Structure 1
Amino acid sequence: MRHPYLVALTVLLIGINNIAVFGQQEKSTVNVFQNRVFKGENYKPLGNLKWAFKTDGKIFSSPIVNEGTVYIGSEDGNLYAIQEKTGKTRWKFKTGGAVHSSPAIFQNTVYAGSFDGYYYAIDIKTGNLKWKFKTGGEKWVGEVGFLGLKPADKYMEDLWDFFLSSPVINPDKQNLTVFFGSSDGNVYALNANTGELKWKFTAKESIHSSPVLYKNTLYIGSWDANLYAIDITSGKERWKFETTTKVGFKGIESSVVVANDMVYFGARDPFLFALNAETGKLVWKYDAAYSWILGTAVVVNDVLYVGTSDTYALLGLDARTGEELFKFKANGYVYGSPAIAGETAYFGDFTGNFFAVNTKSFGKEWNSFSTESRKQFASQILNNNLLDFAFVVKDSDISLYDTNKAVMDQFYKLGSIVSSPFVANNTVYFGSADGNCYAIELLSK
């Protein structure tokens, strides 16, 4: 459902995601940047809630699971290590700001960024600091008179800028490097053992997209609307691809996925692009019908799965041609990336619903889990079980920034899910704006 005031300005209300793909992984590297394909065979619907781990802030970070522990960040400023079986705290690491970055693990270290302006390397067993690196500062994207909202002279933060760039590691033992982007407009390459700067690459605007490594090239998008391909050794630009820049339709927040020697990514302009990974030349693009595609795609068996915002959909596209194969409609914005395990796609939406969809049924067979917050507030906030901005606005002045912010705060009461799921040991894990990290058992059919 489109925002009526911004429709008049040809602007849509949508959000973001920070999950990428990580190529050339070693077994000892675990992160949310892999192509989110997990082991599985037949369709496995959602079963019972195994546990819910409560934090003191919204969760936009995405979880990873490694050797019996779930790692996830929270807006309360902590990175948490949670026992996979019990949902109890193993340790937590306190930063000076919200942890919207998702963690990555290499051997005995977990890496993550915070809105306090630092990226951290933390001992995976003890939760103690190994090193930290200060960027030029982390912040939400914004501008004076954002999207034409009033008052025109007020600086306004983008209400749909949820994430920070998340780290990715090159596991080359001779050149162990961690890469990430920053709100200061730089891509950083650090010695992963010491935190020493190797190089930095400067874009024109903030970078909240997460980097992807493939064949010695780093791919990352920026709010300046360019996707950059960067040589990982020199830090020099190999090529860049420019997306459209219009009011409300500018910027790249999603991260890429690489398959078939093609780079796939969504932008606010609003299209999903398929580029030649070596040259950056356009192969095809998918028109999202004025809906931002901000979730990072997943490619399995030449089918590309990706969520949309205002059309509330999980799409299945032919990865080689961009042809739409199926569309499953959720109840609200789909900001996170799906996890694909065998024949099942797992993903959440902004209304606090989490879905398990049978991909072989073209979206006809599915079940869902609702957060407790959604169960409590859905009847008050949703319109016929669907997200509807105008329904919540009622008689308020929709041209005011404060009205828009108040509506988003109402939506958050549903336990909105922008965190992307992780599947391990017959359980799916994800975070919610209600502050919980959920663990849900999977059923065998």
Structure 2
Amino acid sequence: MFLRDPIHSAAASDVSATPRGNLKWRFDTDLPLFSSPAVVDGRLYLGSGDNRVIALDANTGELIWEHEVLGPVDSSPAVAGESVFIGLRNGRVLSLNKDSGELQWDFQTGGIFATAPVVLEGIAYIGSGDGWLYTLDAQTGQVRWAYQTGGHIASDPAINDDIVAVQSQDSYLHIVDKHTGRKRLDYHTKFARGSPALSGDWVYTADQIGLVTAIDWHKREMPFEKKVRWLKTQLWAWGALRKLPPLKGLAWAAYVPGSLVASPIVTEDMLYVASSEGQVYALGRETGDTEWTFEADGFFLSPMTLVGEGLFIGDRFGTLYAVSAETGEELWRFETDAPIGSTPVAANGMLYFTSEDGSLYALE
């Protein structure tokens, strides 16, 4: 699924060999591609700009099936069991048979778009432009529960065994009980965009003013707690309190220069973020201290992925960069003919990514 798994690790750190950037095959379409593929059991599934959901042989790029839809598909698919799940621009969510591409069920949200689904334990989680987070039975498409935020949901939820974390354009990160759909905590992230990432006790966000934040998802908001904090903030502003009361759940926050574009990558020791200005930053996972910085020639549009010892990210000029996760040194680069707005995906010893030139690339 998008960003690899329900916690959005975006990492295949157990891969023995890091891809070297040699083109194995290329699949061409007629319109720009923004969707990131999902690769399962030797097949690759992708939403296409030319109004299709397609399945390809992941080793050769040969078309296996296609399912036509009413408009371009930007959302990335999720594969679970015998099904492929994908969101559309018109707010529909589709479940397709992964072997044939036949429609199994569809669900219409109230928004004008649906985000990439996250599927876990027979439940599909999806955000919509109507501001609702939906949980759907993966077999039937029936709603299990729904949670309303105060704005559009344009990013994908991150999920662990206990909670669902989702960003909304109401300027909050919403932490919701996975089993009941009830709010545990909402944390003010005014300038955040992209998806959160979960690791251990914390959920991580990166925002447009360069702030990386680690939030303790165990914390719960008590009744009237926001009003009490507001009063304490006023007292601090007038000098009656020495310290500004911290936001509930804050573990740490760190600042790096630049507008951060997407979800952080979190490993055992490190945290990696990228800025739209073309920088990649490696931070200490426990502190947020900057360990190294890499600077590209172009602007970044989408999240990174970690494969073996390399970080991979595409820029606005059509260059895919491979960067050492340990040192920040450039390993290699691969040129395409248009901006790269998708997240690279690692599987089968290869790296797959799409470009706005309408092509899907498979690199060894």
Q: Does the TM-score normalized on the shorter chain lie above 0.5?
A: yes
Match of 1:75 in 2: 49
Match of 1:315 in 2: 281
5+ residue gaps, structure 2, are: 220-247
Match of 2:341 in 1: 418
| Aligned residue among 64, 70, 79 for 1:96 | 70
Match of 1:266 in 2: 206
CA contact 2:19–2:349 (8 Å) conserved in 1: no
Match of 2:251 in 1: 283
CA contact 1:95–1:116 (8 Å) conserved in 2: no
User: Using the alignment, how far apart are the partners of 1:119 and 1:34 within structure 2?
Assistant: 24
Task: Report deviation, 1:198.
Answer: 1.6
Higher relative contact order (CA 8 A, sep 6+): 1
- Classify the secondary structure of the residue corresponding to 1:98: coil
CA contact 1:60–1:433 (8 Å) conserved in 2: yes
Deviations 1:201-226 (A, max 9, x none): 11111101101111221000011110
- Classify the secondary structure of the residue corresponding to 1:340: strand
| Aligned residue among 301, 315, 328 for 2:294 | 328
Which structure is higher in strand share? Answer: 2
Q: One-letter code of the match for 2:274?
A: G
Q: One-letter code of the match for 2:128?
A: S
CA contact 2:19–2:350 (8 Å) conserved in 1: no
Deviations 1:73-92 (A, max 9, x none): 12222111111111111111
Relative to the length of structure 2, the TM-score reads 0.87
CA contact 1:61–1:101 (8 Å) conserved in 2: yes
Range with greater deviation from structure 2 (224-233 or 123-132) = 224-233
Task: Report deviation, 1:37.
Answer: 2.5
CA contact 2:10–2:306 (8 Å) conserved in 1: no
User: Using the alignment, how far apart are the partners of 1:348 and 1:421 within structure 2?
Assistant: 8
The answer on 1:193 being equivalent to 2:139 is yes
- Classify the secondary structure of the residue corresponding to 2:90: coil
User: Using the alignment, how far apart are the partners of 1:288 and 1:351 within structure 2?
Assistant: 23
The answer on 1:209 being equivalent to 2:122 is no
Structure-to-structure mapping, 1:343-362, within 5 angstroms: 343-360=309-326, 362=327
Task: Report deviation, 1:22.
Answer: 1.3
Relative to the length of structure 1, the TM-score reads 0.72
Q: One-letter code of the match for 2:15?
A: G
CA contact 1:46–1:368 (8 Å) conserved in 2: no
Deviations 1:33-76 (A, max 9, x none): 4542243246x352321111112222211111111111111222
Q: One-letter code of the match for 1:221?
A: Q
| Aligned residue among 223, 228, 240 for 2:169 | 223
| Aligned residue among 267, 280, 283 for 1:300 | 267
Range with greater deviation from structure 2 (107-116 or 70-79) = 70-79
User: Using the alignment, how far apart are the partners of 2:279 and 2:349 within structure 1?
Assistant: 25
* Runs of 4+ in structure 1 over 3 Å off: 18-21
| Aligned residue among 124, 130, 133 for 1:184 | 130
Match of 1:237 in 2: 183
CA contact 1:37–1:298 (8 Å) conserved in 2: no
Q: CA RMSD in A?
A: 1.8
CA contact 2:19–2:363 (8 Å) conserved in 1: no
CA contact 1:188–1:197 (8 Å) conserved in 2: yes
